[in-house]
């Protein structure tokens, strides 16, 4: 079950890094959760294709995970792996903008100037 | 040429293609901010490539030779895996930025 534990540790670490160190606030924003709902949908499609047991691209050693696969043949550990990879990247993306406010502001030049909270 | 060997790479290419409109129709501005993109991705790519190499070495997972090219980078990292660690975060950032624009909030 090494993959299972590695996945759990990775998710905890990413969340801890945000709460104790980065403090970007991303995990408190609606944008984050709406984005994740969309990402999750496409993650299932892509990972479903990679892991389908009828013609698998990635082969898993079932001794190193729980063996629980959902939906289709996606090992549930893949969601932990994906969450850690994607959320860590998002947090660093946010952090960079917060440390370079001039550059972040340029994002708004083509959009509405009024900010809503 | 056996196209099946390119399944994994083609899948990653499709991910890039399908998310491209987020940049140009939804104004995500991820591809157009390369410095921020590199700053965001460098550390995760390094960490997850390392995780991948360890997982392969410890036999957590392997790849079906039928659907991968067999092209390997240093340390025997399959080229498909590096492409995954580059493509998936970019697609995710495009989604994040597109959603931010649509919701008009940060």
Tokens describing residue A18: 């945000």
pLDDT in tens, A74-94: 999 999 999 999 999 999 999
Yes or no, beta carbons of A2 and B58 under 8 Å apart: yes
A65 DSSP assignment: S
Q: What is the pTM of this model?
A: 0.93
Residue A32 binned pLDDT confidence (cut-offs 50, 70, 90): very high
Yes or no, beta carbons of B8 and A50 under 8 Å apart: yes
pLDDT in tens, B9-67: 999 999 999 999 999 999 999 999 999 999 999 999 999 999 999 999 999 999 999 99
Yes or no, beta carbons of A38 and B41 under 8 Å apart: no
d(CA A82, CA A51): 14
**Domain coordinates of chain A in residue numbers?**
2-99
Question: Would strands B61-63 and B77-78 be described as parallel, antiparallel, or unpaired?
Answer: unpaired
Q: b/e map of A33-69 (b: 16 or more CB within 10 Å)?
A: ebbbeebeebbbebbebbbeeeebbbebeeebbeeeb
* ipTM reported for the complex, 2 dp: 0.96
**Domain coordinates of chain B in residue numbers?**
3-103
Residues of chain A numbered 20-79 and touching chain B (CB < 8 Å): 29-32, 34-35, 38-39, 42, 46, 49-50, 55-61, 64-65
* Ramachandran region, residue A72 (left: φ > 0; alpha: ψ -120 to 50; beta: rest): left
């Amino acid at each position: 079950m090494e993959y299972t534990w590695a996945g759990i540790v990775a998710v905890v670490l990413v969340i801890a890094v945000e709460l104790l160190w980065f403090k970007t606030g991303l995990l408190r924003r609606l944008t984050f959760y709406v984005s994740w709902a969309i990402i999750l949908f496409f993650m299932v499609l892509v990972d479903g294709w990679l892991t389908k047991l009828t013609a698998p691209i990635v082969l898993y050693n079932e001794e190193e995970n729980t063996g629980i696969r959902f939906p289709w043949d996606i090992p549930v550990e893949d969601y932990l792996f994906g969450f850690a990879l994607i959320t860590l990247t998002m947090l660093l993306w946010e952090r960079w903008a917060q440390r370079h406010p001039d550059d972040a502001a340029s994002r708004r030049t083509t959009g509405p100037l009024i900010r809503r909270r | 040429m056996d196209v099946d060997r390119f399944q994994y790479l083609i899948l990653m290419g499709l991910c890039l293609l399908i998310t491209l409109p987020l940049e140009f129709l939804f104004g995500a501005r991820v591809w157009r901010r390369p410095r921020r993109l590199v700053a965001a991705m460098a550390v995760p790519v390094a960490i997850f490539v390392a995780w991948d190499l360890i997982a392969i070495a410890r036999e957590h997972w392997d790849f079906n030779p039928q659907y991968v090219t067999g092209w390997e980078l240093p340390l025997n990292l399959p080229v498909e895996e590096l492409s995954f660690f580059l493509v998936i975060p970019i697609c995710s950032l495009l989604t994040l930025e597109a959603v931010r624009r649509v919701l008009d909030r940060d």
